[in-house]
Amino acid sequence: MAAKKVTRGSRATRSPKPDAKSNVAKKAISLKQNTAETRPAARWTFLTNHAHVLIVLHAQPDQVLREVAVQVGITERAVQRIVQDLEDEGFIRREKVGRKNHYEVLTDQALRHPIEAHRHIGDLLKLITG
């Protein structure tokens, strides 16, 4: 679909083409109210996408990964890879319940980086979720 040409005075400008990211953002907003979960993310955050996925699954253990992706602001495939990483390293346990998955966050596992290894996943989750 070509961009529409708009004439104003003596200058002609083109209206911007629809952006794929803006369509994803609109879809997220249509699925949920405009909360912190649906506002556009900052250029960087203090927590990784792995931490964000872990936080969402802890709060909503029966959430489908497509919805986790919308909340975190990454692709569904990226969430699948992260969930596999977390499961492989023993941070979550996945259980099939009917046709859906139920995720259990193993809160007694130590954080991975040497600086925070004296703390557990549960400590991080308590700090973030209150």
Report percent pLDDT > 90 for the chain. 64
Class of domain 20-32+45-129 as given by CATH: mainly alpha
Distance CA 126, CA 124 (A): 5
Task: Report how far Cα 72 is from the mean position of its chain's Cα atoms.
Answer: 1
Q: What is the pLDDT of residues 114-125, one digit of tens each?
A: 999 999 999 999
Q: What is the pTM of this model?
A: 0.68
Whether residue 63 has pLDDT greater than 90: yes
Count of CB atoms situated within 10 Å of the CB of 37? 14
What is the average per-residue pLDDT within 27-34?
Answer: 46
CB 40 within 8 A of CB 29: no
What was the pLDDT predicted at 116? 96
Distance CA 115, CA 97 (A): 37
H or E segment and range at residue 10: none
- Nearest CA to 73 among 101, 102, 52, 51? 52
What is the average per-residue pLDDT within 25-34?
Answer: 46
What are the boundaries of each domain within the chain? Answer: 20-32+45-129
pLDDT bin (cut points 50, 70, 90) of residue 4 is: low
